[in-house]
Amino acid sequence: MLAPMAGYTDAPFRKLALEHGAGWVVSEMVLARGFLAGERRSLELGAPYPGEERLVLQLFGHEPDVLRDAAAKAEAEFGPVALDLNMGCPAPKMAGRGGACLLQTPELAFALVRAMRQGTSLPVSAKIRLGWDHDQSLEIAHGLEAAGASLITVHGRTSRQRYGGEADWEAIARVAQAVRVPVIGSGDVTTPEQYFERLKLGVAGVMIGRGAVGNPWIFAQIRQGGSAAGPALEERVHTALRHARLNAQWYGEASGVRQLRKVLPRYFPTHPELHPALKQVSTLGELERLLSSLRPLTPAC
């Protein structure tokens, strides 16, 4: 499944991930209070594309009544298959507002899950890290299970680690063995081979984040047993252009292409000579001309 990533898992990228075989996709984190107030940015972050399936909407916040009402509104307006509480974002700007800060106040986190369950008939999950600055994952997972979480995703780092070091999959495995609800593992899975190795640890599934950026084929490769070859250059060009066109449809051309500048180089890891230009493109025409040097363009999709 596609992990929630701020600035990446928007509607166009989720569409690509599903087309390539992701089982579920998770939205960028949506501020519950802003969502309730109808703030444009919060609404945009959670909005599904028309007909989107298997969307899990992720909320963040720290007020039980707000999370309860936001859960109800999300179910009514966006129709996701489940709701998730963000307990893993380590960004300093989240201080006191939710995210990984909830690992310091687990009783509040449990109250938030209970409140979300009161507001919705959908399954409610939580995505956590191992702890704030040391491993508290077993204690927190047991509390979330008791609060009614239907599923727990564990990223194998503490909040203090942010994205440094290596994810501790042995700690994730201990959580999976200790609770009755399904546990999804997350952290440092960038190849099908790593996916299948992590699955042997007893988790119910694996969440892939950074490994899918510029690489939506990873989901198809996993569904094919990990034996499929990587995409040919022509397929890379085709998919990068499709991503750009989806972005242009969703945001408007100028904004959509600009937002994709950070992703486009990831589609072409073996062509670093294109990366500076990819980070500067402003229109679909510019991108098409730039990539035409790699292979003849196929018709627009």
Q: Which of these, 96, 149, 109, 154, lies nearest to 130 by C-alpha position?
A: 154
Q: Which of 2, 59, 67, 89 is catalytic?
A: 89
89 catalytic residue (yes or no): yes
Q: Which of these, 159, 121, 150, lies nearest to 24 by C-alpha position?
A: 150
The interaxial angle of helices 11-19 and 233-251, nearest 10 deg, is 140
Could you give the CA distance from residue 125 to residue 153 in angstroms, rounded to a whole number? 8
Residues designated as active site: 89
